[in-house]
């Protein structure tokens, strides 16, 4: 596991070859390194990267969780969607809480952007990394998206 410093605290990044298999919040100090995933994460936090290209593999999870993670992976940079909207897209409008649980089990946060999923009315609720981290990630993306839109 590599560890990088970020504006949301140290992140542990587990890779197998070129593929990211896990990202962990609040990682203990550990080895840094030279890996494309680390470079992309640093560029993301610097506001230079809006689309990750590093290969990743979402391991484990139930069929429902994997379906939620696929929906999350498709959320564009700087945008948000509600737990309920994902539940509806998956054919079960009453499953918003289950979507939240699946988001919490996302093994590759930031790269698979579960921070872009919000509560009804765009309320800032729930996040495995804590609401403060979620807010910082959304604020970073909003600043970058506005700067790019306004040139």
CATH code (residue 99):
1.10.10.10
Asked if residue 55 is part of any domain, the answer here is no
Asked if residue 56 is part of any domain, the answer here is no
Residues 83 and 36 grouped into a single domain: no
Residues 145 and 73 grouped into a single domain: yes
Instruction: Check whether 33 has a pLDDT greater than 90.
Output: no
- Encode pLDDT of 117-144 as tens digits: 999 999 998 888 999 999 999 999 999 9
pLDDT band at 31 (very low <50, low <70, confident <90, very high): confident
Helix (H) or strand (E) holding 131: helix 131-150
Asked if residue 136 is part of any domain, the answer here is yes
Helix (H) or strand (E) holding 11: strand 11-16
Residues 28 and 87 grouped into a single domain: no
pLDDT of the residue at 32: 81
Q: Which domain holds residue 113?
A: 63-150
Is this structure's pTM higher than 0.85? yes
Asked if residue 84 is part of any domain, the answer here is yes
Burial letters for 74-92: b for 16+ Cβ neighbours within 10 Å, e otherwise?
ebeebebbbbbbbbeebee
Domain count, the chain: 2
Residues 85 and 140 grouped into a single domain: yes
In contact, 109 and 126? CB cutoff 8 Å: no
Instruction: Check whether 29 has a pLDDT greater than 90.
Output: no
Cα 137 off chain centre by: 9
Asked if residue 6 is part of any domain, the answer here is yes
Please identify every residue annotated as catalytic: 114
Residues 41 and 73 grouped into a single domain: no
Residues 41 and 67 grouped into a single domain: no
Residues 126 and 67 grouped into a single domain: yes
Return all residues near 103 (Cβ < 8 A) that are at least 6 apart: 68, 72, 83, 114, 117, 126, 127, 128
Average confidence (pLDDT) over 38-53: 97
In contact, 50 and 77? CB cutoff 8 Å: yes
Average pLDDT of every residue of the chain:
95
Q: In which order are the strands placed within the sheet that holds 2-4?
A: 2-4, 11-16, 19-25
Average confidence (pLDDT) over 87-112: 97
Q: Please state, in angstroms and rounded to a whole number, the distance separating the CA atoms of residues 45 and 40.
A: 9
């Amino acid at each position: 596991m590599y560890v990088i410093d970020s504006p949301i605290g140290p992140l542990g990044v587990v890779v197998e070859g070129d593929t990211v298999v896990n990202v962990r919040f609040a990682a203990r100090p550990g080895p840094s390194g030279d890996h494309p995933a680390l470079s992309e994460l640093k560029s993301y936090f610097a506001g230079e990267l809006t689309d990750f290209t590093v290969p990743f593999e979402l391991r484990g999870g139930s069929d429902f969780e994997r379906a939620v993670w696929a929906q999350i992976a498709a959320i564009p940079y700087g945008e948000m969607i509600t737990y309920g909207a994902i539940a509806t897209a998956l054919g079960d409008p009453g499953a918003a809480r289950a979507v939240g649980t699946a988001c919490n089990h996302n093994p590759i946060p930031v790269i698979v952007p579960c921070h872009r999923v919000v509560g009804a009315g765009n309320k800032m609720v729930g996040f495995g990394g804590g609401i403060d981290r979620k807010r910082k990630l959304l604020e970073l993306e909003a600043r970058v998206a506005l700067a790019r839109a306004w040139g």
